[in-house]
Amino acid sequence: GEDVEQSLFLSVREGDSSVINCTYTDSSSTYLYWYKQEPGAGLQLLTYIFSNMDMKQDQRLTVLLNKKDKHLSLRIADTQTGDSAIYFCAESSGYNKLIFGAGTRLAVHP
């Protein structure tokens, strides 16, 4: 079945890089996504990657995909306090439903 797993918590120092990891099980996934959720706010799409790509970079964000191992990561360069939030990995097949992980809570400290 479809399943997405993430580590629950990550703590980093301001200015360091953060790496959030995710594994998924559905080999038919065509797109993989990273969403951000701040307290009291809705889900915000950060970036996504097509399954035939290995890497995608968007400003401070770098997504790496290892399709063989079904492993996805999100690297945030120069992490700031404003990056503190819950980050969700999600997969989809085609353009339909998203299957989310439980989320990784990122805490950024001075």
What residues line the site for another protein (CB under 8 A)?
Answer: 4, 31, 33, 35, 41-45, 48, 50, 88, 90, 95-103
What does residue 96 show for φ and ψ, rounded to 5 degrees? -100, -140
Residue with Cβ nearer another protein (48 or 67): 48
Nearer to another protein, 52 or 110 (CB): 52
Q: Sign of torsion, CA 86 35 67 97?
A: positive
Q: Shortest distance, CB of residue 5 to another protein, whole angstroms?
A: 10
Q: Least separation, in Å, of the C-beta of 84 and another protein?
A: 17
Choice between 1 and 110, CB closer to another protein: 1
Q: In angstroms, what is the minimal distance from the CB of 15 to another protein?
A: 28
- How many angstroms separate the Cα of 20 from the Cα of each of 6, 7, 8, 27, 49? 8, 8, 10, 21, 15
Distance CA(62)–CA(59), nearest Å, equals 8
Q: Least Å distance between CB 13 and another protein? A: 25
What is the Cα–Cα distance from 13 to 110, expressed in whole angstroms? 6
